[in-house]
Structure 1
């Protein structure tokens, strides 16, 4: 059974963290969800990893999302999320190799952690999976619309986010979820969308505070971390995207794969932004392959003796 805990980070925000799997597993997988979502969107991947019995799983709700505490508006930034990830790793995965998995804002959080803590990142991270995310803000976001309409929608989204960010840490939109359902389905899903997947997404959206829905938007739109990715040490890595993704379309994943040495790129036909639910088996298979490669590398490292003094000098 999963273990649930609370972690209070440096600015006083309480994060809801869920862990499962053996505490002495050779690899820990850390799952980071996207904007306006929560850890439950990883349910298919968590179930598969838990059944394997060979990895430790850490999944948590970002500040202002799911069961975590509300954030101050000034702390609704990707850089703060990167520090939260560092705190989660130090508490819930303090030793051993880790594989970081990020969807949308979660992937951007991983990049912020890498930029702020490069030595720690290089020492701990042995695998990366980026799902429907970007390292270039809204550079490629067109919402699947012609450029003039996309520009109007971006203006409306930006203005609306500014209003929501100042509405506080409450969730009145829960009452309007049935009305919002068609818009969320259009924005986040591709050609096919089953009822349970949309239900899980709507529940997650309902748990995000208005401050979080609006407050993170400027930071997300402004991020540019391709240089950070280029500087990372090579590890097993992959980028997945749906060709119907209206928020982070294929060029976002393509640039990530180009920046990461040896990263594999997969474009899923007919899929939208919610690949963990729309293409759960494919995401799980890619993650399992990365975990297997990271575990094999860890075993090789443990068998390789440390260099002698003369070898270090040479």
Structure 2
């Protein structure tokens, strides 16, 4: 496994990892979600087929990557970062892209901003626990007035974090674990997974967390999915996901002629932890399909 820092065009430094044959025809690029980092894929990587080349990295403002400059904590900029990462570590060959939560939104923004690249090189996409639109009224699965209150609190918190000037959230590990357990996991999660998700949250840059939360609320890339309409893909969703619901997943699948919808009963938002085997199998299937495509 090779780890390195890559400097983006705007000067932001991203932490990147890669493994597998450098001359592989197919590279799997794994993009994590909001408040998390590349460790999101820890349980998935060992389950990928032997010999598969993969790349994962920390989004700007997350994990070991640098905080973004003011005004650059946007999903559009994340798509630009993805292009730069690909150009640096996988300049040739075909791509299978897997995105969790905001990582899936990043892939949609990539299709929107770089359709020629996507049509030329992307042979498969895995959208895991994500949405193409309608994230501005998230109720966290709470009914009626409680859902409306949750939405108002979420928006106020995003604004506060955007103005926060420290490097770490003022949150204890216990509080982070309790919040993660309720918010992003389904039934009976592993304690180690809850602890890992909480640790990733505590490493994220607070102002970036707030800015990206606002971006998620504005996210609408439904039309961009037309670029991927005929590309083999899978859309995965946990039936107990409080953030990106099965309704969001169906909306993506409806736009993809070659996309399959996979629902995971009882799982929450963190499918790469809760259903790592299923996620890895779906990515492996996309790799096998890509390997046997006419372009091979």
**1:66 corresponds to 2:90:** no
**1:39 corresponds to 2:41:** no
C-alpha distance in 1, partners of 2:295/2:40?
Answer: 33
Q: Could you tell me which runs of 5 or more consecutive residues in structure 2 were left unpaired when the two chains were aligned.
A: none
Change (3 A) 1:169 1:296: farther
Residue 36 of structure 1 contacts residue 204 of structure 1 at CA under 8 Å; is this kept in 2? Answer: yes
C-alpha distance in 2, partners of 1:231/1:16?
Answer: 29
- Tell me which residue corresponds to 2:150: 153
Alpha-carbon deviation of 1:11? Answer: 1.0
Question: Segments of 4+ in structure 1 off by > 2 A?
Answer: 139-142, 230-233
Calculate the aligned-residue CA RMSD, in Å: 1.3
Residue 33 of structure 2 contacts residue 101 of structure 2 at CA under 8 Å; is this kept in 1? Answer: yes
C-alpha distance in 2, partners of 1:42/1:231?
Answer: 26
Residue 136 of structure 2 contacts residue 216 of structure 2 at CA under 8 Å; is this kept in 1? Answer: no
Equivalent of 2:282, from 286, 302, 308?
286
- Tell me which residue corresponds to 1:132: 129
**1:54 corresponds to 2:51:** yes
Aligned residue runs from structure 1 range 21-36, under 5 A: 21-36=20-35
- Tell me which residue corresponds to 1:4: 3
Alpha-carbon deviation of 1:232? Answer: 2.7
- Tell me which residue corresponds to 1:267: 263
- Tell me which residue corresponds to 2:95: 98
Alpha-carbon deviation of 1:168? Answer: 2.7
Change (3 A) 1:137 1:72: farther
Change (3 A) 1:113 1:169: farther
Residue 137 of structure 1 contacts residue 220 of structure 1 at CA under 8 Å; is this kept in 2? Answer: no
Residue 140 of structure 1 contacts residue 252 of structure 1 at CA under 8 Å; is this kept in 2? Answer: no
Change (3 A) 1:103 1:281: same
Alpha-carbon deviation of 1:26? Answer: 1.9
Q: Secondary structure at the match of 1:44?
A: coil
Q: Secondary structure at the match of 1:73?
A: coil
Q: Secondary structure at the match of 1:301?
A: coil
| C-alpha distance after superposition, 1:197-239 (max 9, x if no partner) | 1111111111101112111111110111111102435121000
Q: Could you tell me which runs of 5 or more consecutive residues in structure 1 were left unpaired when the two chains were aligned.
A: 303-314
Change (3 A) 1:257 1:45: same
Equivalent of 2:182, from 160, 179, 186?
186
* Alignment TM-score, normalising by the size of structure 2: 0.97
- Tell me which residue corresponds to 2:210: 214
Residue 66 of structure 1 contacts residue 207 of structure 1 at CA under 8 Å; is this kept in 2? Answer: yes
C-alpha distance in 1, partners of 2:222/2:138?
Answer: 16
Change (3 A) 1:40 1:238: same
Residue 176 of structure 2 contacts residue 201 of structure 2 at CA under 8 Å; is this kept in 1? Answer: no
C-alpha distance in 1, partners of 2:228/2:125?
Answer: 11
Residue 29 of structure 1 contacts residue 98 of structure 1 at CA under 8 Å; is this kept in 2? Answer: yes
C-alpha distance in 2, partners of 1:158/1:172?
Answer: 17
Question: More helix per residue: 1 or 2?
Answer: 1
Aligned residue runs from structure 1 range 157-306, under 5 A: 157-168=154-165, 170-173=167-170, 176-297=172-293, 300-302=294-296
